[in-house]
């Protein structure tokens, strides 16, 4: 009897020590996470400054080229220019060259700072991953010591699934960042460079052929319009501002309208309940992302020709039904994480569970897919 009492005391002390260690690890992990977020914010800021400096360097290189060209012309025809004009040409070329040198030095400094931040960020991410892994091990040890042996197998599977989901989410985030970077580089960035070039042409034509300036300005205006549309499209895909301004229903209607312009899939949105009702911000974002992911899956993977979305807004709850006539899929490996690149479905389930909602996915090969979601949602 005394041995059992002593054993119970040892177990309690062990549990207390492990719990204290868990709290200390959590504190350390939170500190590393804050440091990582600060580094990431500084990295984003320095990348923006690099882009700004690159733009200035490109502009100065063009100005330097024009200044040197003008200087060569002055040197070849110095008899046609007065001394004041010759001196001004030399001073202008030297001034632009000095600015260009300074900008290139600043660009080099920013790039070096960026590389340092990326190294620090990578180290912070590695340390955080180790801390989070250690947290998982400590939590498992607590479960075992507390007598939770029956749920160990299930929890291990769930933990493995969540780890796989986390890795896939990180992969998806990096791919999304790369996609956005490519869109900006190939779209607005190129358009802006062309706008600068057109503006320079207009400046030259003002003195040489002023009649052609009107046409060039018209082309310039059209290029700016196209660039603005591309930027708005990128912003909408990242975070539709209309969601904050007008709510979930107008945002979904606009998203569907824009999607149908680029695809042949027929999409129908049926709204039941208060169409003009505004929901809390978090459920609205969740609803939009769920519908967005479901439509992307129907379009890319299911090759669906028709999709029907039913949104039912009730008092304190929203029900969403998304049905397509695509090729369908086997839900078992996807929902258990054994299927590769299934983070879209798993991400939807994770988002719904975080809101204490329910999600049900029914799909058969050749019979299409139906997704039913129900989440609590308070009205504003």
Q: Give the largest Cα separation in the chain, rounded.
A: 115
Question: Which neighbouring-strand residues pair with 310?
Answer: 270, 321
pLDDT at res. 307: 92
The residue to which tokens 């007008």 are assigned: 246
pLDDT at res. 349: 83
DSSP β-ladder status, 306-314 and 266-273: parallel
> If the chain, 380 residues long, is cut into consecutive pieces of 10 residues, what is the mean pLDDT of each piece?
53 71 81 84 86 85 82 74 76 85 87 88 84 78 59 50 59 60 64 70 72 73 74 65 79 87 88 78 86 86 88 90 87 58 69 87 85 87
pLDDT at res. 148: 45
pLDDT at res. 189: 62
180, 244, 287, 288, 310 from 252: Cα distances, Å: 21, 12, 9, 7, 11
Written as six digits, the tokens of 354 are 């975080």
| Cα 145 to Cα 123: distance, rounded to the nearest angstrom | 33
Written as six digits, the tokens of 378 are 């308070």
The residue to which tokens 């042409």 are assigned: 201
Q: Which residues contact 120 (CB under 8 A, 6 or more apart)?
A: 39
Written as six digits, the tokens of 237 are 């895909």
The DSSP call for residue 189 is: I
Are 348 and 336 in contact by the 8 Å Cβ rule? The answer is no
Which has the closest alpha carbon to 308: 368, 250, 251, 354? 368
């Amino acid at each position: 009897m005394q041995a059992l009492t002593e054993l119970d005391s040892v177990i309690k002390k062990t549990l207390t020590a492990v719990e204290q260690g868990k709290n200390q690890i959590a504190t350390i992990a939170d500190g590393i996470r804050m440091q990582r977020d600060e580094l990431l914010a500084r990295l984003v800021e320095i990348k923006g400054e690099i882009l700004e400096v690159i733009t200035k360097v490109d502009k100065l290189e063009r100005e330097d080229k024009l200044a040197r060209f003008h200087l060569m012309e002055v040197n070849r025809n110095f008899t046609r220019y007065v001394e004041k004009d010759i001196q001004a040409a030399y001073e202008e070329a030297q001034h632009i060259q000095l600015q260009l040198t300074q900008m290139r030095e600043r660009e080099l400094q920013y790039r070096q700072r960026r590389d340092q931040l990326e190294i620090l960020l990578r180290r912070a991410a590695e340390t955080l991953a180790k801390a989070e892994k250690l947290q998982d091990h400590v939590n498992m040890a607590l479960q075992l010591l507390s007598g939770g042996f029956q749920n160990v197998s299930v929890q291990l599977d769930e933990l493995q699934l969540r780890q796989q989901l986390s890795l896939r989410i990180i992969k998806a985030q990096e791919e999304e960042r790369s996609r956005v970077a490519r869109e900006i580089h190939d779209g607005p960035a190129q358009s802006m460079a062309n706008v600068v070039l057109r503006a320079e042409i207009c400046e030259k034509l003002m003195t040489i052929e002023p009649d052609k300036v009107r046409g060039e300005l018209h082309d310039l205006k059209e290029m700016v319009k196209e660039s603005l549309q591309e930027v708005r499209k990128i912003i909408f895909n990242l975070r539709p501002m209309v969601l904050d301004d007008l709510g979930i229903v107008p945002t979904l209607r606009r998203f569907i309208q824009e999607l149908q312009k680029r695809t042949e899939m027929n999409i129908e949105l049926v709204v039941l309940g208060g169409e003009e009702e505004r929901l809390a911000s978090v459920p609205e974002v969740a609803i939009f992302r769920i519908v967005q992911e479901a439509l992307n899956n129907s379009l890319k993977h299911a090759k669906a020709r028709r999709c029907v979305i039913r949104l039912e807004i009730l008092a304190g709850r929203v029900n969403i039904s998304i049905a397509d006539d695509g090729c369908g899929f086997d839900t078992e490996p996807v929902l258990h994480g054994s299927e590769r690149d299934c983070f879209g479905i798993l991400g939807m389930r994770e988002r719904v569970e975080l809101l204490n909602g329910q999600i049900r996915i029914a799909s058969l090969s050749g019979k299409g897919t139906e997704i039913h979601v129900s989440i609590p949602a308070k009205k504003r």
